[in-house]
Structure 1
Amino acid sequence: MLKSLKVRDYMNSEAVTFSPGTDLLTAVELLLMHGVSSASVLDASGNLVGVLSESDCLRGILVGSYFEETGGSVGSFMSVVVDTIDADANVLEAAEHFVKKSRRRLPVMAQGRLVGQISRCDLLGILKSFNSPQLKSR
């Protein structure tokens, strides 16, 4: 039996998300708690409007430290140019995207809506299992 190669079959469909109004320090706490390097930012209608990465959080904390203020909102520090991948894309396309763009995670979209997230680590496990000698002999 052929294995699925679609991103939708390997993505995390319960990804961490934020709203633009989420407090930055709360967002940092949630990223750390869930052990993820970034999270999608959704508006009130559920549309993807940005991504908050560890780098964005560090920038926000540094800006706050410089002005001796804490906090701020996710919307003030998120990246608004977002690379995404379609849920029906091939996992090899996703791997190529990660290599070319140096991203750690990608929001997964279906019909213009966020449906999950996939990471480099997810793909490493998938591609390793596809190339395992034990599986090839079956």
Structure 2
Amino acid sequence: MGIKSFQGSRAEPEKVADLPISVSDYMSTDLITFSKEQTVFEVMEILIKHQISGGCVVDDNNKLLGVISEGDCMKHISDSRYYNMPMDNYTVEKRMTCNVETIESHMNVLDAAKKFIEHKFRRFPIVDNGKLVGQISQRDVLKAALNLKGQSWHI
């Protein structure tokens, strides 16, 4: 009688090419955005209502114009008080940050982690062909790292 092996068949290891490794695999696409014509007060109300710390400013064609954050709103409040100016007539266009650093959706998510460290941002807009398509946060990159745990980091 021959010896039988009780060892089951082994699962094929996941191929690196099959792993979700691009920013597009982890970015958020359901974003709250702002227009440059909105008032800073409208932005403050939306930030509080949705419990977010900022958002992208886009035009009617979804082209990224800038970002506006809680910090931009705080500066507006502080400046208005300091200069004794009315607070309710300022638009996003006057307070938003322009020349925003972005990431492309095909970037490797681990390369995005390096960009977070270099720039010390909490999130980056994702732009393809000049249009806003999503956003990736530090938390999204952490989720990606957990999903890729045990794989080669040289993907």
- Same fold by TM (over 0.5)? yes
Equivalent residue runs for 1:1-138 within 5 Å: 1=14, 2-66=18-82, 67-71=84-88, 72-131=90-149
Deviations 1:14-45 (A, max 9, x none): 11110001111111121222222221101233
**Letter of the aligned partner of 2:37 in structure 1?**
G
Deviations 1:80-110 (A, max 9, x none): 0200000111101111111100101110011
Counterpart-to-counterpart distance in 1, 2:49 and 2:148: 31
Counterpart-to-counterpart distance in 1, 2:114 and 2:53: 19
Counterpart-to-counterpart distance in 2, 1:101 and 1:65: 31
Structure with greater Cα Rg = 2
SS in 2 for 1:99: helix
Task: Please give the TM-score of this superposition, normalised by the length of structure 1.
Answer: 0.87
Gaps of 5+ in 2: 1-13
**Letter of the aligned partner of 1:85 in structure 2?**
I
SS in 2 for 1:52: strand
SS in 2 for 1:117: strand
SS in 2 for 1:13: coil
**Letter of the aligned partner of 1:24 in structure 2?**
V
Between the aligned residues of both structures, percent identity stands at 34
SS in 1 for 2:65: strand
SS in 2 for 1:85: coil
